[in-house]
Structure 1
Amino acid sequence: MLQQMLKRAVLPALFVLLQFRAHATEGMWLPHLLSNMNEKEMKGMGMKINAADIYNVNKGSLKDAIVSLGGFCTGELISSQSLLLTNHHCGYSAIQSHSSVESNYLEKGFWAKSRAEELPNKGLFVTFIVRIEDVTLQALQGAGRNTPEKDRAQVIEANLAKIKDNAKKEDYQDVVIKPFYEGNQYYLFVTETYRDVRLVGAPPSSIGKFGSDTDNWVWPRHTGDFSLFRIYAGKDNRPAEYSADNVPLKPKHFLPVSLDGIAENDFTMVFGFPGRTTEYLPSQAVKLTVEGQDVARVAMRDAALKIIDGFMRQDEKIKIQYAAKYASTANAWKKWIGEMQGVQQTKGIEKRITYETEYTKRLNANTSLKEKYNGVLDSLNTIYQDFSPYAVNRDYYSELTRNVELLSVSDKLINMMNEVRQKGESEYPALREKFLASQASFYKDFSAKVDHDVAAALFDLYFTAVPSRFIGGEATQIWMETNKSGKQLADKYYSNSALVSYDKLKAFLDKPYRDVATDIFKDPVTRMSIALRNGFIENVNNPAVGMQNDINRLQRIYMQSQMEVLNDRRFYPDANSTLRITYGKVNGYRPTDAKTYDFITTLDGVMEKYKPGDYEFDVPEKLRTLHAQKDYGQYGANGRMPVCFIASNHTTGGNSGSPALDAYGNLIGLNFDRTWEGTMSDINYDASICRNIMVDVRYVLFIIDKFAGAKHLVDEMKLVHPKKTAVKAAPAKRA
């Protein structure tokens, strides 16, 4: 009997141990919980600082050097004058906005020689985290297990409003409360946002975007993906709108920059604002993602990208107009391809089923938990199967209206007219001017001939791939009227629509409201947009919303049950654009049989990829000269110039621009990507192939100093030698 009891105890423990080992570097951890959950492990892996050095509300700590940039990327302070480092692709839109054919900073780069030359960026902001508090008890008060989902949401919303009103903060600070663990926990964030952020420096795209879309999500990588900004504040060091009188922010902490480089198995941390992960989905949801939704998304974007790329290679103006849009579209497209391949390669669905089998076994062994959670997982997997066709066809619609830009304009126009109906005809002039102002920048970077060809291809794909019962009769009828031809449909629309240019749109809207309200149904683009929208809402969206509510409820309960059933495993919350830290080690990986990748690349590899005149692989003459002369200054190592490296830190979108930190909390690199085989880490992290890609900070400094001649920026920084210092400080060994 004793032997059987021991056996029953050992098997679950062994399972959890195996899970822990497999996920030793998995996780996006909340920094204020590190001392209890992670500090011991982190020190065991090589960390030399304490959890209090990472997150502290009483004195400056690493968190005070990390910012959310624009709500879409991460940045870090690297000087006492708030010099901000982030990715080139994170600053891309800002760089583009200051570029023209005459002054093309995307092509030539930009370097401010003085503070007076630093360029303001309207709408760009950075947000610091001041402190984090657990408000779960207050947030969930009155929201019991059996509370109907709609009522539960209302109760929590009222609770959160009270918590915000009572939160202690300064007048210039904000409060954000977000759910964690699928709504089982809530944390409050006190934040400070600065809205005067100026462009300081950016390498040319031939460095900052080297390899462009061909190398995107691929290792080995040779991209100097960085740009520099500066945060300005009022003279009281508090947030202020842009003013010529503002001064550089004096930060609580900034990151020293290490010149010692990296070695295999070095401990690393990545600190930033990861966007979104879904690590605790059931097996049917993972299957839906990679065998359904990803397939639809990739097909639509593949068609659009091929057309846009063709135009960009032929026309310099179009290349500038579509540079940022193309990069954004291609980024997710290639990620989804890697996600599908990664899950298949690592047998991610099969592993999730194995996990569910063990979960179910342990649930059934616990009478009280079985009574509480029996059937939850089975119900969740079943509803995901039923939800599948709606989710896939929703993505086809979303990709159509996203990538055919005039459909997006039409949607916004329809929304504006609906708002007029709600508020009254007298509001039309003000709402019209607001709408036109919002579209001016869009048309600056819009080409009707590009959008025409994209529309022709995507209409063909959409009406072929999506069953007519999900499209609706009106849109299908329009498709029939143009002989089921995307080209004929696009020819008709783009030759007759008032939406093809800003001037035509303005003339269309300058008519009296009642005329516009009638004519909007005659415009061919708007007519198709309305037909598509009505069919989507009725046949896809409305059924999906009801099912999604059930999924959300069951997913929340399943998350709670996992944490109770597998209570000897550490669970980290999914990413939700809040401040997180992840840690791992510098090392290579073996993606497939007979293929092994090293952990570092050098400037030699840039020259090996060099293709004169190619927009992805051209190399500036000065960089070629520096390489030929091996003129690397203090930034080279053993006669070579390090460029990028990889480690097993668990990252995702939003971590772009995050600092890679060494064991002492010094800056050693800049996170900008993941390996293609590991992009599935958002739903299925696997330590064997999941690697994040970083620019070596020595390459960043080399480009700033030796290539750009902007050493005054390097002089702002605090350069350190932590490894050499540690060796000198180590006690001498006895003979």
Structure 2
Amino acid sequence: MKKIVTLILGFALVISSQFAKADEGMWIPALLTNNYAEMQRLGLTMTPEQVYSINNSSMKDAIVRLGSGFCTGEVISNQGLILTNHHCGYSAIQKLSSTTANHLKNGYWAKTKADEKPAGFSVSFLVKIVDITDKVLGGVSAKATEEERAGVVAEKSAELKKEYSESDAYSVDIKEMFAGNKYFAYVYEVFGDVRLVGNPPESVGKYGGDTDNWMWPRHTGDFSMFRVYASKENKATKDYSVDNIPYTPKHHLPVSLKGVEQGDFAMIWGFPGSTDRYLSSYGVKNATDIDQPARVKIRRTKLDIYEKYQAQDESVDLMYAAKHAQVANYWKYFIGQTRGLKRLNVEGKKRAEEAAFTHWVNSGDAARNAKFGQVLTMYQDAYKVYDEKILAQTYFGEAIYGVEFTRYAAGLSRLRDMYASLDTMESKEAKAAFQVKIDKTIESYKNGLDAQFKDYYQPIDKEVMVAMLTYYVNDIPESLRPAEFNKLLAKYKNNIAKLVDAVFANSMAVDKDKAAAFLNAPSAKALKKDLGVTYAGMMFNYYMSDLQPMFSDASAKRDLADRLYIDALFQMNPEKAYAPDANSSMRFTYGQVLEYSPGDAMQYKHFTTMKGILEKYQPGDAEFDLPAGFVEAAKSSNYGEYAKEGEDLRVCFLSNNDITGGNSGSPVINGKGELIGLAFDGNWEAMSGDIAFEPELQRTISVDIRYVLWCIDKLAGAKHIVDEMTLAR
């Protein structure tokens, strides 16, 4: 790799003032120096180069992206040991579990590295961040149409992605910031061999369940551990290999045993997924009045069906544990966000901001009015379409694709279409070449057959389909449903249950044996006759060819309005700092360990303790039970160096850091660069935070690293893993 000589300080000095310090924000690491003075004031003692450097080892080299950004992790030993949340490792742990070796329920700790199990996901280390705004937008003419602008941006982005990948040595993400006013390239090194080291029992890692989710006080031991493996030359490999060895990282985080107190400095690094802080008042109203209530209704129904069958059979419970968790998390999230947005009158606040924007436009010259004068009209026009049709889109994602077999069957419908294309070809050479593509597609389905049906339970999916189609037919007008679907339903006399019965009696997409039989003797005829494939194909084709285009003009207007509105904000408030919305790129947020008041006559401390775990304990309860030996270990108060003398063991703590989904598993780091906890949740009172940050209410909930260490050492008896870490006493 070429030596990088650009210094971070020099890089930051050329960036515009829009990136200066602010009270809220998920900030870009390459621009750290703009926030550094305030971070020092709050308690940071590290230098900028120790935190983020592209030339030398720095703290950023200990932060990893899980998969494509579903969670964050941190390296905490010189042998590639990674710490993340239990709910981040949940799916991997579930896939490695069985009813006879239920690692999800009972926990798992590898006694040796030979016992570590392939996790099935990759991790990425950030190499560098490059501001490419001028390169991307430099070729855009002032008179360019939006279509022409998009073409230039796409072309330049592709060129830069290829350039920074250095012949595919690195993975490159081109990230749009501020609705297209800025662009950055994020360059990563991807390691494909990651293995499970250990996890606590589910009754620790998910203690409190859905009841405590998003709530404070919290007592969840939300952690799991993995390890990164590399080649013998310490290079990234694409996949698992028995020849790989533990990765030696450029940097790993020391683990603090000193604990946290009110007012302590705390920063969080990670990969926040998505925020919408610049959402218009029209967008807020659409979310609270139309979109989110529908998501809540659909998800609650799915959860009820899952839970009915999970309660009846342990094997089904294990199969659907991760699926249930994924549906439940955002079911409660949408409830909380809608309530928060309404309670805090976010729509009204947005309208006030838009009124100030209108005043600024009208008080300016003709050029300002020409550029910005139609922004709110564009929003109005766009959301007229969204308000009328968004439910059709929402129901497709939540209800139609909420039926598990639909995605699989839609893929098979593409195979059916490939056979149809083959029949139209006249050239023998073209047919032969296309047959090779078909054969490769079939082979990929064969290879994925076991995984497709491993955690699939037909009775659940069948009942879910009846419920989802009932909602779909009742709530979405015929004009926004596929004509083919309406005809199919009429064929069954509008009896949804009979239609679903026919699908599940006929389709290879819901039956592993039928799917295997087809793949061993594939034919176009079998695909044409399959009702499940036909149904999924018509729904998918409608979504791509009819439904999505209904929003194309509205989306274009909204995107342009967003870009212009944010540009105007920069001009209206040149001294104010603005952070870009989260977009699964590495960011940092900083603040303090802080208590808060959620309401009148209420005050929450900034930490919880073991006492609270025992107070909530309910033997036999699915959410508040504890594993064997836990209560005895807790009551013995044998906390060792994980609790201060005379104090109870602390479990979780609060800070006013700005996080969102994707930050799960992110390290909470003190002013010396030492790990003090893992971020895993936000608080109920500030669920509006992805759209509107509320500094008095917004809190991050983190598990105290000392509770993590106690669980590993005293509860699991895996002190060899603690011994691997660098402990800061």
Same fold flag (TM > 0.5): yes
Partner of 2:514: 504
Q: Which of 51, 64, 69 is the aligned partner of 1:67?
A: 64
Partner of 1:621: 628
Structure 1 counterpart of 2:456, one-letter code: F
Verify the 8 A CA contact 1:672 1:693 in the aligned structure 2: yes
Q: 1:604 to 1:170 in 2, by over 3 A?
A: farther
TM-score, reference length from structure 1: 0.91
> Where in structure 2 are the equivalents of 1:273-672 lying within 5 Å?
273-367=271-365, 368-422=367-421, 426-427=435-436, 428-482=438-492, 484-511=494-521, 513-520=523-530, 523=531, 525-537=532-544, 540-637=547-644, 638-672=646-680
Verify the 8 A CA contact 2:86 2:223 in the aligned structure 1: yes
Partner of 1:726: none
Partner of 1:257: 255
Deviation of the 1:33 alpha carbon: 0.5
- What's the CA shift string for 1:221-277, capped at 9, x where partnerless? 111010111111112211124222222211111111111111112221110011111
For 1:591, what is the secondary structure of its paired residue? coil
- What's the CA shift string for 1:136-158, capped at 9, x where partnerless? 11111222343222322222222
Verify the 8 A CA contact 2:19 2:578 in the aligned structure 1: no
Verify the 8 A CA contact 1:601 1:645 in the aligned structure 2: yes
Deviation of the 1:710 alpha carbon: 0.7
Q: Which of 677, 682, 702 is the aligned partner of 1:674?
A: 682
Q: 1:529 to 1:171 in 2, by over 3 A?
A: closer
Rounded to whole Å, the distance in 2 between the matches of 1:406 and 1:171 is 35
CA RMSD of aligned residues (A): 2.2
Deviation of the 1:514 alpha carbon: 3.3
- What's the CA shift string for 1:55-111, capped at 9, x where partnerless? 111221110100101121100011111111001111112211211111110111111
Moved more, 322-331 or 149-158: 149-158
Q: 1:416 to 1:331 in 2, by over 3 A?
A: farther
Rounded to whole Å, the distance in 1 between the matches of 2:373 and 2:690 is 27
Structure 2 counterpart of 1:641, one-letter code: L
Rounded to whole Å, the distance in 2 between the matches of 1:100 and 1:479 is 39
- What's the CA shift string for 1:615-645, capped at 9, x where partnerless? 2211013110011111111112433111111
Verify the 8 A CA contact 2:19 2:31 in the aligned structure 1: no
> Where in structure 2 are the equivalents of 1:48-127 lying within 5 Å?
48-71=45-68, 72-122=70-120, 124-127=121-124
Verify the 8 A CA contact 2:123 2:190 in the aligned structure 1: yes
Partner of 2:14: none
Structure 2 counterpart of 1:426, one-letter code: Q
Verify the 8 A CA contact 2:378 2:558 in the aligned structure 1: no
Deviation of the 1:567 alpha carbon: 1.8
For 2:702, what is the secondary structure of its paired residue? strand
Deviation of the 1:482 alpha carbon: 4.2
Rounded to whole Å, the distance in 1 between the matches of 2:696 and 2:468 is 37
Verify the 8 A CA contact 1:587 1:647 in the aligned structure 2: yes
Q: 1:473 to 1:649 in 2, by over 3 A?
A: same
Rounded to whole Å, the distance in 1 between the matches of 2:50 and 2:361 is 39
Structure 1 counterpart of 2:489, one-letter code: W
Q: 1:45 to 1:466 in 2, by over 3 A?
A: same
Partner of 1:201: 198
Rounded to whole Å, the distance in 2 between the matches of 1:380 and 1:127 is 38
Moved more, 318-327 or 214-223: 214-223
Structure 2 counterpart of 1:497, one-letter code: S
Verify the 8 A CA contact 2:255 2:726 in the aligned structure 1: yes
Deviation of the 1:511 alpha carbon: 4.5
- What's the CA shift string for 1:170-194, capped at 9, x where partnerless? 8633333221111121112221111
Structure 1 counterpart of 2:177, one-letter code: F
Deviation of the 1:535 alpha carbon: 4.6
Rounded to whole Å, the distance in 2 between the matches of 1:296 and 1:168 is 42
Deviation of the 1:214 alpha carbon: 2.1
Q: Which of 695, 711, 717 is the aligned partner of 2:703?
A: 695
Q: 1:381 to 1:265 in 2, by over 3 A?
A: farther
Verify the 8 A CA contact 1:369 1:565 in the aligned structure 2: no
Q: Which of 33, 36, 39 is the aligned partner of 1:35?
A: 33
Moved more, 81-90 or 438-447: 438-447
Structure 1 counterpart of 2:547, one-letter code: V
Verify the 8 A CA contact 2:382 2:554 in the aligned structure 1: yes
Verify the 8 A CA contact 2:412 2:527 in the aligned structure 1: no
Structure 2 counterpart of 1:429, one-letter code: D
For 2:266, what is the secondary structure of its paired residue? strand
Rounded to whole Å, the distance in 2 between the matches of 1:514 and 1:131 is 49
For 2:622, what is the secondary structure of its paired residue? coil
Deviation of the 1:465 alpha carbon: 1.4
Rounded to whole Å, the distance in 2 between the matches of 1:235 and 1:227 is 26
Verify the 8 A CA contact 2:670 2:676 in the aligned structure 1: yes
Deviation of the 1:597 alpha carbon: 2.3
Q: Which of 212, 233, 253 is the aligned partner of 2:209?
A: 212
Structure 1 counterpart of 2:410, one-letter code: D
For 1:91, what is the secondary structure of its paired residue? helix
Q: Which of 180, 185, 192 is the aligned partner of 1:183?
A: 180
Verify the 8 A CA contact 1:474 1:535 in the aligned structure 2: no
For 1:230, what is the secondary structure of its paired residue? strand
Rounded to whole Å, the distance in 2 between the matches of 1:631 and 1:167 is 52
- What's the CA shift string for 1:425-469, capped at 9, x where partnerless? 624333222123234312110001011111121122221111222
Verify the 8 A CA contact 2:413 2:534 in the aligned structure 1: no
Partner of 1:732: none
For 2:275, what is the secondary structure of its paired residue? coil
Rounded to whole Å, the distance in 2 between the matches of 1:592 and 1:447 is 44
Deviation of the 1:341 alpha carbon: 0.8
Rounded to whole Å, the distance in 1 between the matches of 2:552 and 2:637 is 60
Deviation of the 1:484 alpha carbon: 4.3
Rounded to whole Å, the distance in 2 between the matches of 1:594 and 1:408 is 50
Deviation of the 1:132 alpha carbon: 1.0
Rounded to whole Å, the distance in 2 between the matches of 1:609 and 1:209 is 13
Q: 1:617 to 1:238 in 2, by over 3 A?
A: same
Q: 1:171 to 1:392 in 2, by over 3 A?
A: closer
Rounded to whole Å, the distance in 2 between the matches of 1:170 and 1:251 is 23
Q: 1:627 to 1:558 in 2, by over 3 A?
A: same
Structure 1 counterpart of 2:501, one-letter code: D
Deviation of the 1:328 alpha carbon: 0.9
Verify the 8 A CA contact 2:19 2:579 in the aligned structure 1: no
For 2:396, what is the secondary structure of its paired residue? helix
Deviation of the 1:46 alpha carbon: 2.6
Deviation of the 1:326 alpha carbon: 0.9
Structure 1 counterpart of 2:109, one-letter code: W
Deviation of the 1:163 alpha carbon: 2.4
The percent of aligned pairs where both chains have the same amino acid is: 39
Verify the 8 A CA contact 1:267 1:585 in the aligned structure 2: yes
Q: 1:170 to 1:533 in 2, by over 3 A?
A: closer
Partner of 1:686: 694
Partner of 1:237: 234
